[in-house]
């Protein structure tokens, strides 16, 4: 993750980054098959909470789009 600016349009910090992952879940070591994933994201600390946008691509060409606006909360 890298901080792109300390301000911008709304004077809020803006960040960009990439994430790489390798892993799998298996019941025995012989059944391990590596799966890969890469994500690129842009995020901003705003007054209403984090604003986060990301694109991900995984093994087999599967992709995801993520958008989060506002603070996360828990019930407990």
The whole-angstrom separation of Cα 76 and Cα 63 is 32
| Mean pLDDT calculated for residue range 2-25 | 82
Q: Please name the CATH architecture into which domain 2-27+34-69 falls.
A: 2-Layer Sandwich (3.30)
Across 37-66, average pLDDT: 90
- Name the residue with tokens 């209403």: 48
Residue with more model confidence, 5 or 67: 67
Structure tokens at 4: 């792109």
The mean predicted confidence, pLDDT, of the chain is 85
pLDDT above 70 covers a percentage of the chain that reads: 88
Q: Cα(45)–Cα(34) distance, rounded to whole angstroms?
A: 34
- What is the Cα 11 distance to its own chain's centre? 23
Average pLDDT over every residue of 68-75: 77
- Higher-pLDDT residue of 75 and 65 is 65
Strand 63-69 and strand 35-46: pairing?
unpaired
Q: Are 39 and 54 in contact (CB under 8 A)?
A: yes
């Amino acid at each position: 993750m890298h901080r792109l600016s300390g301000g911008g349009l709304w004077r809020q910090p803006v960040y960009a980054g990439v994430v790489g992952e390798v892993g799998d879940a298996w019941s025995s070591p012989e059944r391990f098959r590596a799966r890969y994933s890469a994500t690129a994201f842009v995020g901003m600390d705003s007054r209403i909470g984090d604003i986060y946008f990301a694109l991900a691509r995984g093994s087999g060409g599967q992709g995801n789009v993520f958008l989060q606006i506002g603070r996360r909360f828990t019930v407990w």
